[in-house]
Amino acid sequence: MEKAHKLEMNSPGGRDPVLGRAGEHAGSEGKDHKCDCAEAYREIDRVIQAHKGEKDSLIEVLHYVQERLGYIPKDVQVRIAQTLGVSLTEVYGVVSFYNAFSEKPKGKHVISCCQGTACYVRGAPDVLARLEKELGIKAGDTTEDGLFSLEVVRCLGACGLAPVITVGAETHGRMTPDKVPVILEKVKRGGGEIEKVAGS
């Protein structure tokens, strides 16, 4: 799932110097798509401009964009780098390092599958393989319908329940591959939060 957004940043004539063409930009995979979130981008630009030259504000600005858009598009990363005075490499490094940041729009339900040592030795690779199979995506991707995003993490802080996944705020411990379709079905049916099955 990849969306791009109308951009009307505070540039002369509404033309964005980074993006070249006013009112549109391509997603990180280069597809042209449009949506009506110009106001969000104007707000983002105001926040970025408010931190002009403040290299130490990088994390704060990234958090704002992530919160506002649900991800941090490449073109916004360029804008942040140019305005705050940090290198694009540094911005990209921070975005890709922290799980809190994403370069792609995330699905309604984000599934984190732990592949840390405790989980790995208790069968986490099989759980991940089943998740990928049931969802029809690879780790790092989002389903076409935008319902699920799947990501791999190194520890969820619940090693005693290994192997562990989280679906949104819910933790599911002692996972097995066969529990995967059951949990996914509950999420789809409920369309929202599901009961906690940690340790079940």
Footprint of ligand FES (CB under 6 A): 114, 116-119, 155-156, 158-159, 162, 164
Q: Which is nearer to ligand FES, 111 or 156 (CB)?
A: 156
Q: Nearest approach, Cβ of 158 to ligand FES (angstroms)?
A: 5
Q: Which is nearer to ligand FES, 7 or 183 (CB)?
A: 183
Name the maximum alpha-carbon separation found in the chain: 59
Q: Which is nearer to ligand FES, 59 or 121 (CB)?
A: 121
Q: Which is nearer to ligand FES, 47 or 198 (CB)?
A: 198
State the alpha helices, DSSP H only, in 85-152: 88-97, 117-120, 124-135
Task: Name every residue whose Cβ is closer than 8 Å to that of residue 150 and which is 6 or more positions away in sequence.
Answer: 111, 113, 131, 132, 135, 137, 138, 139, 140, 141, 142
Q: Nearest approach, Cβ of 200 to ligand FES (angstroms)?
A: 16
Q: Which is nearer to ligand FES, 119 or 131 (CB)?
A: 119
**Of all residues in this chain, which one has the CB nearest to ligand FES in the complex?**
116
Asked if residue 73 has a cis previous peptide bond (ω within 30° of 0), the answer is no
DSSP single-letter state for residue 160 = G
Q: Nearest approach, Cβ of 175 to ligand FES (angstroms)?
A: 10
Residue 145: which region, alpha, beta or left (left: phi > 0; alpha: psi -120 to 50)?
alpha
CA-based R_g, the chain, Å = 19
